[in-house]
């Protein structure tokens, strides 16, 4: 199966309607295109939608993560616990404030931060490195919420803040509460960071939102705009005053009214977008559940998945080709595919600074080698979804090892003998090492992916 060149199925195209276009044009024709009244309206709408106590619109989720650390006063001598299986930005900002990112391994089914590993790490870090653990940064990977109850309990017991990376998690729910929503029972500061990047479940082109306690959001707001205590709208608007003070050495992280014009209408459509994503996932699960060569994405009963990404896992022992070749075959058939993510400890900067090797986080490393993310967007047509399903099926049938039946895999002890079940291996792992500024560490071993 090969689609015509102009029929290539993109990975995650945005769905922009006439309402967004009209709002952007209205902004362009107004007297104000940077941070102003539409940003304020977007913040209010978003805060009400997820029932958050306060909200700050910013230029990216990365900016929101950085501001969270600054608002909490985290810096040199501090440590932040986070996952090895994530995009680099959340770990970068910990480095950028001078703190130490401490990577932890993940749960085998969700690939989210493992609460057992958190407890072990807290007990080890001060003793091994002389650092103060100040916060936990869970990542709601692919849109599946982390198991927050034990994470919040551990944070409360040790007096830690929690910074949720919810770039994938709008509009996910954990135990009935939307991620980022206010929880009167939480005993620790919780800041939640969202992304509106072009591929996300709703978009402003580039952009993000930080939600949390009003006092921390106010502090983050100053850091987000050069450390000024008044933004341009407050200085140049009808009721504005020109005078301002600098209260901290801040950054340029503000969202513009042009971007907020998109966000206002994307937010209104989010429930409809989510329903379409869920429908596509049901089609994918029904089709791919027939293949013993695949493991379907996890979805625990106590959560509502945002389905930002649909990440299949291959049973490598069942194929005559590698994971990378599998993706190349899909692309040859006109279907975009990707991998989310390369674990942090496998990137050169972190390998060389901290001396990591691939096997330091065995679950993240093992699962990375068999991940394949498929197209998922409310813009996908029914025919495109069928074409994705057909391309995956065609690739499996063409690359299936003739001796790789489920019974044979089980008899030979393959760890992937029941690939549609969540793997039971539960091996929390942490690696506490002092950074090396000079030693160059070897690359991770070559892997057949």
200 annotated active-site = yes
How far is residue 76's CA from residue 88's CA, in Å, rounded to a whole number? 20
* Residues written for the chain: 449
Burial of 324 (C-beta count, 10 Å sphere; 0-12/13-18/19+): middle
Q: Determine the 3-state secondary structure of 261 from DSSP.
A: helix
HSE at residue 213, side-chain half, CA atoms within 13 A, is 15
Query: Which positions ≥6 away from 404 have C-beta within 8 Å?
Result: 293, 315, 317, 318, 319
How far is residue 448's CA from residue 446's CA, in Å, rounded to a whole number? 7
How far is residue 355's CA from residue 357's CA, in Å, rounded to a whole number? 7
Distance of CA 423 to the CA centre of its chain: 22
∠ CA 422-425-428 to the nearest 5 degrees?
Answer: 120
Query: Which positions ≥6 away from 272 have C-beta within 8 Å?
Result: 378
How far is residue 272's CA from residue 380's CA, in Å, rounded to a whole number? 14
DSSP result, 33-99: -SSSHHHHHHHHHHHHHHT-S-EEEES-HHHHHHHHHHHTT--TTEEEEEESSS-THHHHHHHHTT-
For the record, the structure tokens of 54 come out as 């306060």
Q: What are phi and psi of 280, to 5 degrees?
A: -65, -40
Partnered with residue 177 across adjacent β-strands are 174
How far is residue 99's CA from residue 94's CA, in Å, rounded to a whole number? 5
Point out the catalytic residue in the list 134, 200, 269, 379.
200
Catalytic positions: 200
């Amino acid at each position: 199966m090969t689609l015509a060149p102009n029929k290539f199925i993109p990975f995650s195209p945005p769905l922009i309607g006439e309402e967004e276009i009209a709002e952007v044009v209205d902004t362009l024709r107004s007297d104000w295109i940077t941070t102003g009244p539409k940003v304020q309206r977007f913040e209010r709408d978003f805060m009400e939608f997820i029932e958050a106590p306060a909200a700050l619109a910013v230029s990216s989720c990365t900016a929101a993560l950085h501001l969270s650390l600054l608002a909490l006063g985290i810096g040199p001598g501090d440590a932040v616990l986070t996952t090895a299986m994530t995009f680099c930005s959340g770990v970068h900002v910990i480095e950028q404030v001078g703190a130490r990112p401490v990577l932890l391994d993940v749960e085998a089914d969700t690939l989210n931060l493992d609460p057992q590993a958190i407890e072990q790490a807290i007990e080890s870090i001060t003793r091994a490195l002389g650092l103060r653990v100040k916060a936990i940064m869970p990542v709601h990977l692919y849109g599946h919420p982390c198991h927050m109850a034990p994470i919040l309990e551990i944070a409360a017991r040790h007096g830690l803040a929690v910074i949720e990376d919810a770039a994938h998690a709008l509009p996910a729910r954990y135990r009935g509460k939307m991620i980022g929503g206010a929880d009167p029972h939480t005993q620790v500061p919780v800041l939640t960071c969202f992304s509106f990047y072009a591929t996300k479940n709703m978009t402003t082109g580039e952009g993000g939102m930080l939600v949390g306690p009003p006092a921390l959001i106010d502090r983050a707001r100053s850091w987000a705009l050069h450390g000024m205590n008044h933004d341009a709208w407050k200085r140049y608007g009808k009721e504005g005053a020109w005078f301002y003070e600098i209260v901290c050495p801040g950054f340029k992280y503000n969202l513009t009214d042009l971007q907020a014009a998109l966000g206002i209408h994307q937010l209104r459509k989010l429930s409809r977008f989510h329903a379409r994503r869920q429908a596509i996932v049901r089609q994918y699960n029904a089709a791919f559940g027939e293949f013993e060569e695949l493991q379907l994405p996890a979805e625990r009963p106590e959560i509502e998945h945002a389905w930002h990404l649909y990440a299949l896992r291959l049973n490598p022992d069942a194929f005559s080709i590698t994971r990378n070749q599998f993706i190349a075959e899909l692309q040859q058939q006109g279907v975009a595919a990707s991998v989310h993510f390369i674990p942090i400890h496998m990137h050169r900067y972190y390998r060389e600074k901290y001396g990591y090797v691939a096997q330091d986080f065995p679950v993240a490393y093992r699962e990375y080698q068999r991940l394949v993310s498929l197209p998922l967007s409310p813009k996908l047509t029914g025919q495109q979804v069928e074409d994705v399903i057909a391309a995956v099926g065609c690739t499996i049938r063409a690359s299936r090892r003739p001796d790789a039946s489920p019974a044979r895999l089980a008899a030979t002890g393959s760890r992937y003998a029941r690939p549609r079940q969540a793997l039971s291996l539960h091996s929390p792992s942490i690696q506490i090492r002092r950074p090396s500024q000079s030693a160059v560490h070897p690359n991770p071993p070559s892997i057949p992916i």
